[in-house]
């Protein structure tokens, strides 16, 4: 018995990183998965690896038309939409003074508007199927304020807020809406911001060493942990959970002053 037997999911941003790991885990658990991404180099191969349970769809989460097409393709091909993981994201690290309006708007378009459009487009399809589960990927940067993250952190706070609003509105249709707040993610997202030659795995291990056993683990292990939290919220194991979030951060927030 798979934990997602009989369910169909759209996972945005699943050509690589956390989304890819989530898509692969969902398929291992019996789910049918739409690998939805703008990355047409990597995405199709992830879908092919899932066999008959995988389908690649080019989705730009910032476009309402693109969302309509992706949800339509999903229901035409697999017959239903039961789970949406709003995972696609963009990072921008810059001081406020050096954050251009264009950069700010690019991050908001993907991280915030993309989640809004995903919820808006998926909800009617889920409603007609009797309900569903939406999992939004936020971040611990949406639970605190960090320097140089004015755009990114702001959107991740917004994702948590939209999660709560949508859970209240959509509960009457049997649709649950939750968030996962990871510290770690795909190494490619952070790589452009690290000094030349610095390995993202080393940085992640260093930050997570509050737990002794994290010291030999790799990015793929950390993002698998995020995917497992997403799986729980996607599956019927979490039927009583909505409007809430799971923090996957090795205790980093608990060890530091936070605003929550
Ligand atoms: N990397 C981290 O350290 C970290 C930490 C906490 C939370 N997160 C969050 O986890 C999620 C996954 O990120 P990741 O770490 O796997 O990063 P990643 O950069 O490896 O993957 C992001 C994916 O989103 C896709 N994407 C970007 N713009 C898109 C668009 N307009 N439409 C569709 N797809 C688009 C990219 O092509 C890519 O495949 C994001 O929401 C991110 O903010 C990441």
Indicate whether 256 pLDDT > 90.
no
118 lines ligand 1 (CB under 6 A): no
Q: Is residue 253 part of a domain?
A: no
Whether 70 and 36 have beta carbons less than 8 Å apart is answered as yes
The pLDDT assigned to 255 comes to: 84
Q: Is residue 209 part of a domain?
A: no
Tell me the best of 13, 56, 222 to mutate to test the pocket of ligand 1, counting ligand atoms within 8 Å of each CB and taking the most.
13
- Domain CATH code at residue 127: 3.40.50.720
Q: Establish whether 152 is a catalytic residue.
A: yes
Q: What is the pLDDT of residues 57-103, one digit of tens each?
A: 999 999 999 999 999 999 999 999 999 999 999 999 999 999 999 99
C-alpha to C-alpha distance for 136 and 115, rounded to whole angstroms: 7
Q: Is residue 177 part of a domain?
A: yes
Strands 132-137 and 83-86: parallel
Q: Is residue 196 part of a domain?
A: no
245 lines ligand 1 (CB under 6 A): no
Q: DSSP string of 112-169? A: IIHHHHHHHHHHHHHHHTT-EEEEEE--GGGSS--TTBHHHHHHHHHHHHHHHHHHHH
**Two tokens, residue 101:** 């309006």
92 lines ligand 1 (CB under 6 A): no
Q: Is residue 2 part of a domain?
A: no
Q: Is residue 118 part of a domain?
A: yes
Q: What's the 172 CA to ligand 1 centre distance in angstroms?
A: 30
Q: Is 247 helix (H, G, I), strand (E, B) or coil?
A: strand
C-alpha to C-alpha distance for 248 and 234, rounded to whole angstroms: 16
pTM given for the model: 0.97
Neighbouring CB atoms inside 10 A of 44's CB total 18
Tell me the best of 162, 189, 203, 245 to mutate to test the pocket of ligand 1, counting ligand atoms within 8 Å of each CB and taking the most.
189
Indicate whether 119 pLDDT > 90.
yes
Q: What is the pLDDT of residues 188-220, one digit of tens each?
A: 999 999 999 999 999 999 989 999 999 899 999
Whether 241 and 233 have beta carbons less than 8 Å apart is answered as yes
Q: Is residue 175 part of a domain?
A: yes
Q: Is residue 239 part of a domain?
A: yes
Q: What's the 16 CA to ligand 1 centre distance in angstroms?
A: 8
Q: What is the pLDDT of residues 143-183, one digit of tens each?
A: 999 899 999 999 999 999 999 999 999 999 999 999 999 99
Domain residues for the domain of 227 are 8-189+219-248
Whether 18 and 226 have beta carbons less than 8 Å apart is answered as yes
Report the number of distinct structural domains present in the chain. Answer: 1
The pLDDT assigned to 146 comes to: 85
């Amino acid at each position: 018995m798979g934990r997602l037997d009989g369910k169909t999911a759209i996972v945005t941003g699943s050509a690589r990183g956390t989304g890819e790991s989530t898509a692969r885990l969902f398929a291992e658990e019996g789910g049918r998965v739409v690998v939805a991404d703008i990355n047409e180099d990597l995405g199709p191969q992830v879908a092919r690896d899932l066999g008959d349970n995988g389908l690649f769809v080019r989705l730009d989460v910032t476009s309402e038309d693109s969302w309509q097409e992706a949800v339509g393709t999903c229901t035409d091909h697999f017959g239903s939409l039961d789970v949406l993981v709003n995972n696609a994201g963009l990072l921008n690290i810059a001081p406020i003074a050096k954050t251009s309006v264009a950069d700010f708007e690019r991050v908001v378009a993907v991280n915030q508007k993309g989640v809004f459009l995903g919820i808006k487009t998926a909800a009617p399809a889920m409603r007609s199927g009797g309900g569903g589960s939406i999992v939004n990927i936020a971040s611990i940067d949406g639970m605190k304020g960090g320097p140089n993250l004015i755009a990114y952190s702001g959107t991740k706070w917004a994702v948590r807020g939209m999660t709560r609003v949508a859970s209240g509105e959509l509960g009457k249709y049997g649709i649950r809406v939750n968030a996962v707040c990871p510290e770690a993610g795909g190494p490619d997202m952070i790589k452009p911001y690290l000094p030349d030659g610095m390995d993202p795995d080393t940085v992640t291990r260093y930050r997570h060493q509050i737990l002794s056993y994290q010291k030999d683990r790799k990015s793929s292990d950390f993002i698998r942990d995020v995917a497992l939290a997403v799986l729980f919220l996607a599956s019927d194991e979490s039927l009583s959970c909505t409007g809430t979030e799971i923090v996957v951060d090795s205790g980093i927030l608990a060890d530091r002053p936070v605003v929550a």
